[in-house]
């Protein structure tokens, strides 16, 4: 947990100067990957790295900054669909190099074999949780 906290705090120092939290960044990445069809709110929540009970508030903040848009699903009015906006895509593009540098800084000291072993061990731990 200490390692996760250190990595999370270091990542926050990369994205927060752009006015975005790590969780918000994660949402934008999820929505960028969803393409033009968008995703229902609960699907976004299920894909988050760090689970949050306040997905609506998280999306409210992103929408207020014009980084996402939401609409009721025309086929199922109970669902709200989410899309990343062009300004959200611009934000991610602007952070891309800093995030790549962060990845290299944190994981660059590990060999390919070390990374595969780390992923294998973390996968085993997640199966237990």
- Rounded to 5°, angle at Cα 64 from 14 and 58: 65
- 16-39, pLDDT tens digit by residue? 999 999 999 999 999 999 988 899
Domains of the chain, by residue range, sit at 2-128
For the domain with range 2-128, which CATH number is right: 1.10.287.130, 3.40.50.1820, 3.30.9.10, 1.10.10.10?
A: 1.10.10.10
**Model pLDDT for residues 59-114, shown as the tens digit of each residue:** 999 999 999 999 987 788 788 999 999 999 999 999 999 999 999 999 999 999 99
Q: pTM of this prediction?
A: 0.88
What are the counts of helices (DSSP H) followed by strands (DSSP E) for the chain? 6, 3
Closest to 83 measured CA to CA, from 63, 53, 113, 61: 63
115: CB partners within 8 A, 6+ apart: 107
């Amino acid at each position: 947990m200490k390692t996760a906290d250190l990595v999370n705090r270091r990542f926050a120092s990369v994205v927060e100067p752009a006015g975005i939290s790590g969780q918000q960044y994660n949402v934008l990445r999820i929505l960028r990957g969803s393409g033009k069809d968008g995703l229902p709110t609960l699907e976004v929540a299920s894909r988050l790295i760090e689970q949050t009970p306040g997905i609506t508030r998280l999306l409210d903040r992103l929408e207020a900054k014009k980084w996402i848009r939401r609409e009721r699903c025309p086929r199922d009015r109970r669902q709200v669909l989410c899309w990343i906006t062009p300004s959200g895509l611009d934000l991610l593009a602007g952070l891309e190099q800093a995030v790549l540098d962060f990845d290299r800084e944190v994981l660059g000291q590990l060999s390919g074999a070390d990374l595969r072993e780390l992923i294998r061990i973390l996968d085993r731990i997640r199966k237990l949780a």
